[in-house]
Amino acid sequence: MKTLLDTLATKTRRHKGLNLSIFGVLVPLWLILPANLLGIDFDPQGFADTYHAVGLNGSHNFLSSRTRLRFEMWITGNDASLFASMNAINNNVIKSNSGLELREAFIDYFADNWDVRIGRQLIIWGKADGLAITDIISPKDYTEFIAQDFDDIRLPVDALKWRLLFEQANIEFLWLPVFKPAILPSPDLPWAFKFEYPQNFQVIFEEPIEPDLTLKNSEVGGKLSFYLHGIDFAFSSFYTWDDLPTIHKTISTGDTIVIHYYPEHHRLTFIGVEFSRPLGDFILRGEGAFYKDKYFEPADILSESLFKKNSLDWLLGIDWTPGNYWMITAQLADDFILNYNNAIKNDEHTMLATLHISKKFLRQTLELSAMGYYGINDKDFFVRTGVDYALTDELHILSGIDIFGGNKGIFGQFDNNDEVWIKAKYNF
C-alpha cells in the first residue's frame, strides 16, 4: 500500500526526467548565441564535495552519505552570456538521487537599462537567514530536511526573468511555464515526515494531481526593488501553485475505517514585502508574505472538511557585527491564519525563533558557528554546530553536530536523528 510520502516522492522524482528535455530545448539557443557574441570568454569551474552524517542514537546508521562533482561553465561576450552547471552525484542513502543532473542552464542578455535570463535557474527572493518567507519561487527539496545547506534545498526552475534597471530601483518580471513541486522524502528514508494512524484504520493515497502543462497554468509574478540611501525595500507578487499539495479525503466507516486521500496542488496568490536597513553595527531586516485562499487541513482526522483562509507570514531579524570577526543574527517569524477557525489543524499563530552565531580565528582560516531553531508553539528545537577549516583557499574541511529536541512539532519528530557529520569541499 502506498503512503502519502511514497506517492509524493515517486511523483517528484519524475521531474528529474525533465532535466535533459529542458537541456534539449536550450541547445538550439546555445548554438545561435555564440554567433552573436564578440570577444567570447570561456570559464570552466566547479567543486567536489563529500558529506557524511552518522546518527548518535540507536544503531548509529548513516543518515546522510553523498559525494558530488559539480561542473560549471560560463561563456561570456560583450552583451550576452551562457551559464550551465551539472552534478554527478553518488548518494549511498537516497539511491534515487544518484546519477547525472543538469542543475542550471540559462542565457543572459544585457542591454543599457534592462536584462533578461532564460532557462533553468535559481531565483531567490527575501532577506531571511535559513527561512523562506518571500523566498517562494524556487521549490524546496526536503529529502534530507534541514540538515543540508540551504543552497542545496532550493530547486532550480525553468523560467524567463526580465529586469528593467534604474539607478535606484529595479523592476523584475517572471514567467514560469512549467510547475515544479517540492520534493518530500519517502517513508523508508531517515528524514521522512511521520504520520501515525490507529490500528483499525486503512489509508489509501492517490497520486498527487498537478496542473496540466498549458499556458493558463503558468506561474507569473514580479518584484519592484528600491535601493535608497540608508534603506533597501521591495514589493513583490506571484500568481503561483502551492508547492505542497492539499490533502483532500473521503472517509468510509465500519469495522475498519478507510481514509482515501487525494493530494492536489492549488492556485495561490502571493503578495510580499521586504526591507533591510543598516544601523551602525546592526542591520535590521524584515519580510512579510500575504497568501490569498490558502487551504488548511482539519484537526479531526475523521473530518473531510478543508478550510480556505488568507494567511500572513512575517519575519523580523537583526544582524550584529561587533567586530573581531564575530557575526550574530537573531530572527522571529510567525505564520498567522486570518479569520481563524478552531477546527483547523494548524495553530492560529505558528511562531519560530532562530539564532546564528559565528566567529573566525587564525587569520580567518577557522570558523566556528552555531545555528539554532526553536519552535515556540511545540517547544521543539534544532541546533547545528559547525567547524570550518580552510586548509587552502580551495580546500575546506568541515565537521559538526546536529541536535533535535522536543516531543512533537516539525523538529521534535526527528528527536532520534541527532547526528555527527563531516564534510570536505574542494573548489577548482
pLDDT tens for 378-420 read: 999 999 999 999 999 999 999 999 999 999 999 999 999 999 9
Pairwise CA distance, residues 175 & 158, whole Å: 9
Tens digits of residue pLDDT in 82-140:
999 999 999 999 998 999 999 999 999 999 999 999 999 999 999 999 999 999 999 99
Say how far residue 305 (Cα) sits from the centre of its chain: 29
pLDDT at 178: 95
pLDDT at 58: 81
Cα dihedral: 107, 111, 113, 118 (round 10): -20
Q: For the chain, how many structural domains are there in total?
A: 1
What 3 state SS string does the chain have?
CCCHHHHHHHHHHHHHHHHHHHHHHHHHHHHHHHHHCCCCEEEEEEEEEEEEEEECCCCCCEEEEEEEEEEEEEEECCCEEEEEEEEEEEECCCHHHCEEEEEEEEEEEECCCEEEEEEEECCCCCCCCCCCCCCCCCCEECCCCCCCCHHHHECCEEEEEEEEECCCEEEEEEEECCCCCCECCCCCCCCCCCCCCCCCEEEEECCCECCCCCHHHCEEEEEEEEEECCEEEEEEEEEEECCCCEEEEEEECCCCEEEEEEEECCEEEEEEEEEEEEECCEEEEEEEEEEEEEEECECCCCCCCCEEEEEEEEEEEEEEEEECCEEEEEEEEEEEECCCCCCECCCCEEEEEEEEEEEEECCCCEEEEEEEEEECCCCEEEEEEEEEEECCCCEEEEEEEEEEECCCHHHHCCCCCCEEEEEEEEEC
Tens digits of residue pLDDT in 63-89:
999 999 999 999 998 899 999 999 999
By DSSP bridging, strand 219-228 and strand 114-121 are unpaired
Residue 194, exposed/middle/buried by CB under 10 A (0-12, 13-18, 19+)?
Answer: exposed
pLDDT at 254: 81
Residues contacting 331, CB < 8 A, separation 6+: 128, 129, 131, 315, 316, 317, 318, 353, 354, 355
> Which amino acid belongs to residue 155?
L
What is the layout of strands, in order, in the sheet containing 246-252? Answer: 201-205, 257-264, 246-252
pLDDT at 39: 59
Taking Cα atoms as reference points, which of 402, 404, 403 lies closest to residue 378? 404
- Please check whether residue 217 is in contact with residue 268, taking contact to mean a CB–CB distance below 8 angstroms: no
- Please check whether residue 305 is in contact with residue 250, taking contact to mean a CB–CB distance below 8 angstroms: no
pLDDT at 214: 95
> Which amino acid belongs to residue 174?
L
- Please check whether residue 276 is in contact with residue 233, taking contact to mean a CB–CB distance below 8 angstroms: yes
Confidence of residue 26 (pLDDT cuts 50, 70, 90): low
pLDDT at 322: 96
pLDDT at 13: 45
pTM metric for this prediction: 0.89
Confidence of residue 9 (pLDDT cuts 50, 70, 90): low
Pairwise CA distance, residues 301 & 283, whole Å: 44
Q: What is the CATH number of the domain that holds 94?
A: 2.40.160.10
Confidence of residue 146 (pLDDT cuts 50, 70, 90): confident
Q: What is the span of the domain harbouring residue 249?
A: 4-427
pLDDT at 105: 97
